[in-house]
Amino acid sequence: MNVLFIVLNEMESLDEILDSFVEIGIKGATILDSQGMGSAIANSGRGNEPFFGHIRHFLNNAKPYNKTIFTVIEEEELLEKAVETVKDILGDMSKPGVGMMFTLPVGHVYGL
């Protein structure tokens, strides 16, 4: 059993990801509003040091907020299908501004 996390910067893809999850058999997911550390620092108004100026410049066109989706998936085959589905929707996730995805093993689940 694993939990799949997706930090989604391309929010226009959210509905397509959720629809695809339903199609492949994922019965539920949780979506949280989130913000990256760099964005929080750059938008805080603090940090006059040159380092913070570089962060602000780098993030100038970045979206300040994103969505974090997570879902617990029992079967390895379904997990692999979910990962491939997200990759198909988002394309090259190594490009800046797309987001990131990772899995973690789950020991115990209560209330599922």
Report the CATH number at residue 80: 3.30.70.120
Task: Tell me if 52 is assigned to some domain.
Answer: no
For residue 16, what are the CA distances in angstroms to 25, 36, 49, 85, 88?
Answer: 14, 23, 41, 10, 11
- The better pLDDT of the pair 23, 65 is held by 23
Task: Tell me if 27 is assigned to some domain.
Answer: yes
Based on the structure, what is the number of domains in the chain?
A: 1
Task: Tell me if 112 is assigned to some domain.
Answer: no
The model's pLDDT over 29-51, given as tens digits with 9 standing for 90+, comes to 999 999 887 777 766 666 555 55
Range of the domain at 25: 2-34+64-105
Using alpha carbons only, how large is the chain's radius of gyration in Å? Answer: 16
Task: Tell me if 15 is assigned to some domain.
Answer: yes
The whole-model pTM stands at: 0.81
